[in-house]
Amino acid sequence: MSATKRVNIFSLSLVRGIVFQILGTLVGIGVVTLIRLLMGLPAWKAEPAGVFGAFLGVLFFLVGAGTIRDWYKMALGEPVSDHHAADPEQPGWAKYFNISYDHKVIGIQYGVTSVVVMLLAGSFALIFRAELARAGLQLIELDMFNTLVGLHGIVMIASILLGVGAMSNYLVPLLIGASDMAFPRLNAFAYWVNVPGALLVVSSLFLGGFDTGWTGYPPLSARAPLGMQMFFLGVYFIGLSSILGSLNLIVTVIRMRAPGMSYFRMPIFVWAAVATSIIGLTATQLIGLSFQMVMFQRLFGMGFFDPAKGGNVILFQHLFWFYSHPAVYVFILPGLGIISELLPVFVRKPLFGYKWIAMSSLGIALVGFFVWAHHMFTAGMEEYLRVPFMYSTLLVAVPTGVKFFSWVGTMWRGRMSFETPMLFTLGAVSIFLLGGLTGPPNATVATDLHLQDSYWIVGHFHATMFGGFVFPWFAAIYYWFPKFTGKMYNEKLGKLHFWLMFPAFYLMSLGQMRVGLLGMRRRIADYDPALGFDNTQTLVTIAGYVIAFSVLLFLFNLVRSIRSGEVAVANPWNSRSPEFQLPSPIPEHNYAEHPFVVVGEPYDYGLADAEYVRFGAASEPAAAD
Amino acid sequence: MTTNVTSEVRASYAYKTATNRLGLWLFLLSDSFVFGGLLVSRFYLLGNTRPHLDQTLGLIVTAMLLVSSFFMNRAETAIAHGDEKTFLRGTLITLVLGVAFLLGVVGVEWRLAPFGPADDVVGAVFYMMTGMHAFHVLTGVIFLGIVYRNGRKGLYSAEKHWQVEAAAVYWHFVDVVWIFFYPALYLIGTVAG
Ligand SMILES: [Cu+2]
């Protein structure tokens, strides 16, 4: 890269999108105000103007960034190009700020956005965790505390969804031997719609915030400040991204596999990604619907959740949790897939029970559709629903147990080595076990009546998220880093990252569970010092800061390695997977110059002469749109 | 199923169309969850009662939508046989019936209904369901407009008419949704009030 290449920042899609979003917001506010004026109403009303402005802002962003240009041409019957090439006039980094149809670029866009958003959500937590370190109020106001708690939750969820998008977009086409996703334009659109959506969610901080937590239950959400509407609208668009991304992924897996790659010869992560996508494609619609209904209640007075008009607040919870429970499987299934994918490589043994793992991912996804009401045992819902939902929830332990059984079977008498990705994989298994074992008490009605809304739940949930997403996510980044960048990360710093984060996480999660059992409520800024857990709270806060520090270390490691790391070899882990047979970094058109056929089983590690992929015999799969 | 496909086949119009078709059907599956959620909400909130609506008008708009699906099917079959004239006429009739349906529901029924969206939960459910459906009809009408324009320019042939197929399938889907919504709003239960 020569330093002489310069970029006009207004040529970047990201910048143009944001400028258009601001413009669209102003136009929307103006239109509503004008209409009200013409109707003889008081011209200025913040809520309708703000909501319509925000909505129009997102649409303007998408147009301004150029996400729909090709579709517009297609609708008019004009030809569009199927092939992507980075603009040679611009420096290499510019393609990440522009619309790209290359799934690898989009995967990196997802990944970097996910990390940026994670830092934001993490810093929200650091602020309110500092407040919770001692009893009494020292740092922030109550409203601010509530908003930060809610934002930490929802922004982390956005970060995880983006991380899941990063893994499935970058990895799945490579793992199945495709040149790209089935619908590259839809892929780009699904990424870019997140950006204005996330901006809206964060803007709620400056529009009065919202005090409902990330679940947005009415009736409170029906009268919270304007920030609530921005939260609903932002999440709505992020959900749209999930739906479209899931659709694209399922079609890609069904239509774009390399010759010889039958369903049971796909790398196991692909199964996890498909199971995730089934949830994302369908259930997401219901959180969208429930949020839309609250928005309309606020805007038009439609009384869905207003008992005075015959509405029912419990309906919101049914619709909301029909998505939001399966959503946790969207968060963890890809991570569990990463564990199954990485373990055999570092144990040098076949994956134990491939078909069982593949089916257990689908099993978790499907059972997940029938468990949502376990969040509502104390909500005043119909009482006869409690026991059936208790049993269906406990049933989830069966396919999850299958996974643990297989992981132990894979590790059994293997020749383990402990590079950073493996450390994070093992950490994930251990932490997810903690998360899994602390689940049944919440699923069981009798115990849940006591545990509901306590800090115990916070501890349990963080264990499932760290075990099911955070640790596998870091494992995946370290593992595939050479394929992304062509450089190796620094192993020492990577290990330090793990050895800081792993014990700190246990301290945090077990501390949260302890204060919960002793009577700490979740989402409350203060507690009675007489409860006697001040010191545990302080430890939890310290642990949180150690985790944050370890993440900074991780970032430092990656940035330094990209700039001046060792040049990576093609296959540093001796993996059998097809993408590791390509040079590092991956060539722009994947396997175009290196076609392969699948001739054996994917995970026959340690077996003599067992071949998985054979190069030089197949043809290049093309994209359709 | 696709494990031994050559790159020439993958680059072909037929293969891409089959891929697009799968995408469209998955989209409809996803969309049907919105309408499913609305139906569940309707029965959860209103139970065995229904809004007070004009039965004659309901019957007329329903008939128009069902008949429009017939003409859309004719249009699609015609272009698949290379009969451009029948295709264009069928598309235009579908489009006109679609607009008439929209006018009937949003223009007339919304005015005739003895309740507004903010009055009580019956109104909320009625306007939400018909509104969401009307929004889909509107997008379908726009889609048909594009297809009609491109059809007049001669962009479709017996072999290549994916846009027509997509518009037709989407239109039938919107029609099928109404087949569930119509009884849920007009027929089932006793009139609330
Ligand atoms: Cu749950």
Residue B75 belongs to some domain of the structure: yes
Q: Which of the four pLDDT bands, split at 50, 70 and 90, describes residue A468?
A: very high
Amino acid (1-letter code) at residue A573: W
Give me the pLDDT at residue A584, please.
87
Mean pLDDT for the stretch of residues A299-303: 94
The residue written with tokens 């901080």 in the block is: A205
Residues lining ion ligand 1 (Cβ < 5 A) are: A 325
Long-range contacts of A518-521 (CB under 8 A, 24+ apart): A519/A454, A520/A454, A520/A455, A521/A453, A521/A454, A521/A455
Alpha-carbon gap, residue A416 to A409, rounded angstroms? 13
Q: Which of the four pLDDT bands, split at 50, 70 and 90, describes residue A4?
A: low
Give me the pLDDT at residue A1, please.
42
Contacts of A504 (CB under 8 A, 6+ apart): A543, A544, A546, A547, A550
Mean pLDDT for the stretch of residues A295-319: 94
Alpha-carbon gap, residue B111 to A51, rounded angstroms? 26
Mean pLDDT lowest among A38-52, B75-89, B158-172 = A38-52
Q: Is A248 within 8 Å of B23 when comparing Cβ atoms? A: yes
Cα-to-centroid distance, A278 and ligand 1 (Å): 17
pLDDT digits (tens, 9 = 90+) for A75-114: 888 888 766 666 777 777 888 999 999 999 999 999 999 9
Q: Is A315 within 8 Å of B33 when comparing Cβ atoms? A: no
User: Closest to B45 (Cβ–Cβ): which among A255, A260, A315?
Assistant: A315
- Nearest residue of B to residue A74, measured between CA atoms: B163
Alpha-carbon gap, residue A241 to A158, rounded angstroms? 11
Q: What is the CATH number of the domain that holds B47?
A: 1.20.120.80
Q: Which of the four pLDDT bands, split at 50, 70 and 90, describes residue B2?
A: very low
Give me the pLDDT at residue A362, please.
95
Residue B107 belongs to some domain of the structure: yes
pLDDT digits (tens, 9 = 90+) for A234-275: 999 999 999 999 999 999 999 999 999 999 999 999 999 999
Which whole-number Å values give the CA distances from A348 to A271, A342, A364, A573, B170, in the listed order? Answer: 21, 10, 27, 10, 50
Which whole-number Å values give the CA distances from A341 to A549, A603, B69, in the listed order? Answer: 28, 9, 48
Give me the pLDDT at residue A606, please.
85
Which residue segments constitute the domains of chain A, with CATH numbers given?
9-81 (no CATH), 93-594 (1.20.210.10)
DSSP string, A415-432: -----HHHHHHHHHHHHH
Whether the per-residue pLDDT at A576 is higher than 80: the answer is yes
Name the residue with higher pLDDT: B57 or A606: B57
Give me the pLDDT at residue B4, please.
59
Which whole-number Å values give the CA distances from B161 to B122, B145, B149, in the listed order? Answer: 43, 15, 13
Helices (H), A348-470: 354-367, 386-395, 397-411, 420-437, 440-443, 445-451, 455-465
Give me the pLDDT at residue B116, please.
93
Mean pLDDT for the stretch of residues A303-308: 94
Which letter, b or e, does each residue of A65-79 get, where b requires 16 or more Cβ atoms within 10 Å of its Cβ?
bbbbebeeebbeeee
Alpha-carbon gap, residue A342 to A269, rounded angstroms? 9
Q: Is A303 within 8 Å of B16 when comparing Cβ atoms? A: no
Which whole-number Å values give the CA distances from A444 to A329, A379, A388, in the listed order? Answer: 19, 15, 11
Closest CA to A281 of A321, A240, A322: A240
- Nearest residue of B to residue A79, measured between CA atoms: B155
Whether the per-residue pLDDT at A620 is higher than 90: the answer is no
Alpha-carbon gap, residue A223 to A393, rounded angstroms? 33
Residue B169 belongs to some domain of the structure: yes
Number of domains in chain B: 1
Cα-to-centroid distance, A409 and ligand 1 (Å): 28
Contacts of A162 (CB under 8 A, 6+ apart): A110, A111, A113, A114, A117, A194
Q: Does B96 touch chain A (CB under 8 A)?
A: no
Give me the pLDDT at residue A84, please.
64
Whether the per-residue pLDDT at A213 is higher than 50: the answer is yes
Residue B10 belongs to some domain of the structure: no
pLDDT digits (tens, 9 = 90+) for A392-446: 999 999 999 999 999 999 999 999 999 999 999 999 999 999 999 999 999 999 9
Cα-to-centroid distance, A387 and ligand 1 (Å): 15
Give me the pLDDT at residue B5, please.
67
Q: Which of the four pLDDT bands, split at 50, 70 and 90, describes residue A51?
A: very high
Contact A249, B29 (CB under 8 A): no
Closest CA to A210 of A149, A156, A160: A149
Give me the pLDDT at residue A588, please.
87
pLDDT digits (tens, 9 = 90+) for A479-503: 999 999 999 999 999 999 999 999 9
Closest CA to A248 of A189, A197, A290: A189
Residue B21 belongs to some domain of the structure: no
Q: How many CB atoms lie within 10 A of CB B82?
A: 12
Q: How many CB atoms lie within 10 A of CB B145?
A: 16
Give me the pLDDT at residue B8, please.
73
Whether the per-residue pLDDT at A518 is higher than 50: the answer is yes
Give me the pLDDT at residue A5, please.
66
Cα-to-centroid distance, A444 and ligand 1 (Å): 12
Phi, psi of A95 (to 5 degrees): -65, -25
Name every chain B residue with its beta carbon within 8 A of the beta carbon of A186.
23
Residue B6 belongs to some domain of the structure: no
Cα-to-centroid distance, B81 and ligand 1 (Å): 52
Is it true that the peptide bond before A585 is cis, omega within 30 degrees of 0? yes
Alpha-carbon gap, residue B84 to B158, rounded angstroms? 9
Alpha-carbon gap, residue A593 to A591, rounded angstroms? 5
Name the residue with higher pLDDT: A215 or B6: A215
The residue written with tokens 């264990």 in the block is: A463
Mean pLDDT for the stretch of residues A54-82: 90
User: What is the interface pTM, i.e. ipTM, of the complex?
Assistant: 0.94
Residues 113-152 of B with CB under 8 A from A: 117-125, 127-128, 146, 150
Give me the pLDDT at residue B1, please.
41
Name every chain A residue with its beta carbon within 8 A of the beta carbon of B23.
182-183, 186, 247-248, 251
pLDDT digits (tens, 9 = 90+) for B89-138: 999 999 999 999 999 999 999 999 999 999 999 999 999 999 999 999 99
Phi, psi of A521 (to 5 degrees): -85, 155
Domain range enclosing B181? 31-191
Is it true that the peptide bond before A88 is cis, omega within 30 degrees of 0? no
Cα-to-centroid distance, A374 and ligand 1 (Å): 6
- Cα A548 versus chain centre, distance: 18
- β partners of residue A487: A567
Whether the per-residue pLDDT at A621 is higher than 80: the answer is no
User: Closest to B30 (Cβ–Cβ): which among A282, A318, A625?
Assistant: A282
User: Closest to A302 (Cβ–Cβ): which among B7, B16, B118?
Assistant: B118
Alpha-carbon gap, residue B73 to A130, rounded angstroms? 64
Q: Which of the four pLDDT bands, split at 50, 70 and 90, describes residue A622?
A: very low
Alpha-carbon gap, residue A175 to A253, rounded angstroms? 10
Whether the per-residue pLDDT at A189 is higher than 70: the answer is yes
Rounded mean pLDDT of chain B?
93
Q: Which of the four pLDDT bands, split at 50, 70 and 90, describes residue A2?
A: very low
DSSP letter, residue B83: -
Name every chain A residue with its beta carbon within 8 A of the beta carbon of B44.
312, 315, 318
Residue B180 belongs to some domain of the structure: yes
Whether the per-residue pLDDT at A182 is higher than 60: the answer is yes
pLDDT digits (tens, 9 = 90+) for B158-178: 999 999 999 999 999 999 999
pLDDT digits (tens, 9 = 90+) for A586-604: 988 889 888 899 999 999 9
Contact A237, A197 (CB under 8 A): yes
- Cα A579 versus chain centre, distance: 23
Contacts of B65 (CB under 8 A, 6+ apart): B97, B98, B101, B137, B175, B178
Structure tokens at A252: 């890609």
Angle at B124 between CA B121 and CA B125, to 5 degrees: 90
Q: How many helices and strands, by DSSP H and E, does chain A display?
A: 22, 2
pLDDT digits (tens, 9 = 90+) for A5-14: 677 888 889 9
Q: Which of the four pLDDT bands, split at 50, 70 and 90, describes residue A623?
A: very low
Give me the pLDDT at residue A85, please.
65
Residue B95 belongs to some domain of the structure: yes
Rounded mean pLDDT of chain A?
92
Contact A451, A439 (CB under 8 A): no
